[in-house]
Amino acid sequence: MAGRMVDISKRWGFHGVDALKNASPGYKMIMGLFALLALAGAAVGLHGLLVGYHHVYGVTRQVSWGLLISAYIFCVVTSTGLCIVSSIGHVFGGEAFMPIAKRAVYMSIMFMFGGFCIIFFDIENPFRMAIWNVLSPNFVSNMWWMGTLYGAYLVFMIIEYYFLLEQNHSLSRLMGFLGLVVGIAAHSNLGAVFGMLHGRPFWYGPYLPIYFIFSAAMSGGCAILFFTTLGWKINPEIMNQRMERAVKAVTQITIFLISVIIFFTIWKIITGMVSEGKHLVIMSFLSGDYSINFWVFEIFLGMFLPLFLLIRSRGNNFNLIMWATGLMMIGIFFMRYDIVIPGQMESVYHSLGVVEEANLLTYTPSFHEIMASLFGIGVIALAYFVGEKMLNGHQLEKHEIVPEGGYICPGCGAIHFMEEGETEEDAMKRHHRIW
Amino acid sequence: MKFPKINFDTLKNEGTKSVTAQERRNFLKLGLTVAGVYAGGKILSLTSVIGTAHASGVGFVEKYPYNPHYSMVIRQTLCIDCEKCVDACKVTNNIPDYGYRTRILTKKYTGKLDKQVEFIPVLCNHCNSAPCVRACPTKATYKDPVTGIVRMESKKCIGCKTCMLACPYDARYFSAERRAVDKCDFCWEERLSQGEKLTACAAACPTGARTFGNLTDPENIVYKLVHQLEEQVWVLRPADDTKPNIFYMKGNMRSVDNILNEQRFKYFDPDKI
């Protein structure tokens, strides 16, 4: 079967640096903009590292987690979500979801990487972390588990992506499964980092670990829709019947997940209003300092507008989906910010009724914090635009001659090979381990 | 379902003679049990503050988990906010300007006859189940196995600041000079390990508001102040259940002086009636 020997660059759908050179000037400008943003962010972040973060960051002793942690959480939540939603297809065999897998796993890795870029500028001694995380692990620390599991998650996702490119479905499926399990464990541990702080009633409890998982799935659906429809804008050829079906399926599941998060938010507000420890913070959401964040960004941009637009789009109006999910990404960013910052607003001594802590604490992100966050965002955006070109819209080479005995799988878009006397359907089932 | 109708008016009085001695005894026993539960509850509620305040378990424990079990009793109303303790701490432990290991909070009252303001010194509570120790990913902060002091191993600190948020007493800050989170160590590094008996803040306090000592030593002032029923002892944020080792009480009470002078029954001395 000589036909099985396929040029590796074709098999990976890899277009090389030439694809970047051939991009339109406008596209190059966008890439240059994000590259510049990432470089500027890294430069400002390194400046902060040199002069000492406490001189340039807005975080204080009492509000010690600021914009950087919010941005980190935004990135890793989206990464986990991309993994969760895409696993419906290439791990659990939901056919409709299969075509999104390559882009989703690629972006999942990039979001994770972007998250690590941001946390690098938040951790005061990132180099010590690499040493002491291994030499002196604290197994009861959620922070330790979160860091370690996310490290393992990134490794699994990279291996999975390799096998996706290689079209080795059984191994990519195994790695995807391990990545999913480890990713969910890591992500719920991130929720538990907050949920297990006794002294912080706004965070404490099982709510956040659970919320984080559902919220991640929602972010993942949103991100897949946004990046797929934006990819369609860049290269309309990526859209075909399979991809249209996939977008429709992801739209449906995203609508469902937004509804779940609305439900979560309603009960967070209602239970918080009758809780002594949460009341002040909840009231600052409803009518205080955080009311614009909450009502405009979190509720309107993050939930109601996308819910309305996604239902209106019926899953096939890609322009509408792109706008809905693009705005939703901004709303989701504020959702993360509204978890991290308000949880620290009430000083631990507020309930003691002392003069010093009578008012809620305030926090404003500094220029250095904003730029260090944009470093990670710039890296992710650059990786996306480069990936769309170099990896040919995450599709397989369509114009190549399908090798002898092979065919393009209707499920995943990959080239499959039929055994002797096998139908296409049987071959597809064999490749995807569906019995 | 029908309930039997009982007409109390037509019931015959059986008299007390028909009640056997055994029945009588059982009834009394029941009453005592009920009363005992209430009495017990009352006593528990009186002592339970000390129970939670105590370094380990409920009630007066005989054995503390550490020896010497360092602890501080803050007699709140003795504090005059002179901040000598804060200054002494800064000098002794080389605290930068932007940080502090201890501070004094102000609580204002209106409509009270005796005073309008109270000062509450706060510092690391050296909790027996310390949330910061659980939260640290690299064991950079730990309970000293001998003294129970929550200490830092600065070289392991990665600066993730989780401990700062885990602490329900705002006792931690990031020190750029140490490149690590810094906190009160009961002056272990600067004083106790070199043979001193008191922390810098306790030694500097002119009114005796801060009393420092060993909770396992029955002769120690800290032991005596905590192990008494007469005056209430409490801890900050007991609901967080961190089993702190900083105890608070009011200050200018004669009964405590009596305890310290071992005149336990001054007011109710049966010989003097």
- The residues near A294 (Cβ < 8 Å, ≥ 6 apart) are A285, A286, A338
Shortest CA distance from A52: residue in chain B: B176
- Asked if the structure places residue A2 within a domain, the reply is no
Where do the domains of chain B lie? Answer: 70-260
The ipTM estimated for the assembled molecules is 0.81
Q: Are A123 and B124 in contact (CB under 8 A)?
A: no
Check if the beta carbon of residue B202 is closer than 8 Å to that of residue B209.
no
* Same-domain pairing of A395 and A411: no
CB–CB of B134 and A136 under 8 A?
no
- Tens digit of pLDDT for each residue in A19-61? 777 778 888 888 899 999 999 999 988 888 888 888 888 888 8
The per-residue pLDDT for range A256-266, each reduced to its tens digit, is 999 999 999 99
Chain-chain contact of A143 with B174 (C-beta, under 8 angstroms):
no
- Whether A54 and A91 share a structural domain: yes
Residues A178 and A274 in one domain: yes
From the list A63, A108, A310, A132, the residue with the least C-alpha distance to A217 is: A108
Are residue A419 and residue A279 in the same domain, yes or no? no
Domain CATH code at residue A44: 1.20.1630.10
Q: What are phi and psi of A50, to 5 degrees?
A: -75, -45
Question: Which A positions 347-406 lie with beta carbon below 8 A of chain B?
Answer: 347-349, 351-357
Write the CA distances from A321 to A314, A382, B181, B266, integer angstroms.
9, 22, 46, 82
A191 in B contact zone (CB under 8 Å) = no
Q: Do B240 and A352 touch (CB under 8 A)?
A: no
Structure confidence at residue B10 as a pLDDT band (50, 70, 90): confident
List chain A residues with CB under 8 Å of B158.
123-126, 128-129, 132-133
Percentage, residues of chain A above pLDDT 90: 37
Within 8 A of A140 by CB-CB distance, chain B residues are: 134
Please compute the mean of the pLDDT values over residues B40-48 and round it to a whole number.
Answer: 37
Q: Do A301 and A431 share a domain, yes or no?
A: no
How many angstroms separate the CA atoms of B162 and A189, rounded?
A: 13
Q: List the single best residue of A53, A59, A61, A351 to mutate versus B (max B Cβ within 10 A).
A: A61
Cβ-defined contact of A354 to B107 (cutoff 8 Å):
yes
Distance in angstroms between the alpha carbons of the first and the last residue of chain A: 26
| Domain B70-260 belongs in CATH node 3.30.70.270 | no
Tens digits of residue pLDDT in B145-182? 888 899 999 888 998 999 999 999 999 999 888 889 99
User: Which one is predicted more confidently, B51 or B194?
Assistant: B194
Chain mean pLDDT for chain A: 85
Option in A142, A198, A356 nearest B106 (CB): A356
Residues A100, A101, A106, A112, CA torsion sign: positive
**Do A423 and A304 fall within a single domain?**
no
Q: Within this chain, do residues A333 and A394 fall inside the same structural domain, yes or no?
A: yes
Q: Per the domain annotation, does A1 fall within a domain? A: no
pLDDT in the model for residue A223: 94
What is the residue-averaged pLDDT of chain B?
79
Tell me what pLDDT residue A149 has: 92
Q: Cβ of A124 and B99 within 8 Å?
A: no
Residues of A in contact with B176 (CB under 8 A): 52-54
The verdict on A408 and A395 lying in the same domain is: no
- The boundaries of the domain holding residue A24 are 7-400
User: How far, in whole angstroms, is CA A391 from its chain's centroid?
Assistant: 20
Residue type, A302: G
Average pLDDT of the segment spanning A359-376: 90
The verdict on A138 touching B (C-beta cutoff 8 Å) is yes
> How much is the pLDDT for B29?
67
Residues A130 and A189 in one domain: yes
Note whether B162 contacts A141, CB cutoff 8 Å: yes
Which of A348, A357, A361, A369 is the best residue to mutate to test the B interface, defined by the most B CB atoms within 10 Å of its own CB? A348
DSSP category for residue B159? -
Please indicate, yes or no, whether residues A241 and A384 belong to a single structural domain of this protein. Answer: yes
Give which of B106, B123, B124, B138 to mutate to test A binding, by max A Cβ within 10 Å.
B138
Please state the domain count of chain A: 2
Q: Which pLDDT does position A330 carry in this prediction?
A: 93
Is A34 or B273 the better-scoring residue by pLDDT?
A: A34
A133 touches chain B (CB under 8 A): yes
Q: If you search the block for the tokens 């139908």, which residue do you land on?
A: A423
Q: Are residues A371 and A390 in the same domain?
A: yes
- Asked if B135's CB is within 8 angstroms of A132's CB, the reply is no
Query: What dihedral do alpha carbons A349, A353, A357, A360 form, nearest 10°?
Result: 100
A36 and A183 part of one domain: yes
- For B98, other C-beta atoms within 10 Å of its C-beta total 13
Q: How far is CA A392 from the centre of its chain?
A: 21
What mean pLDDT comes out for the span B66-87? 88
Whether A184 has a pLDDT exceeding 60, the answer reads: yes
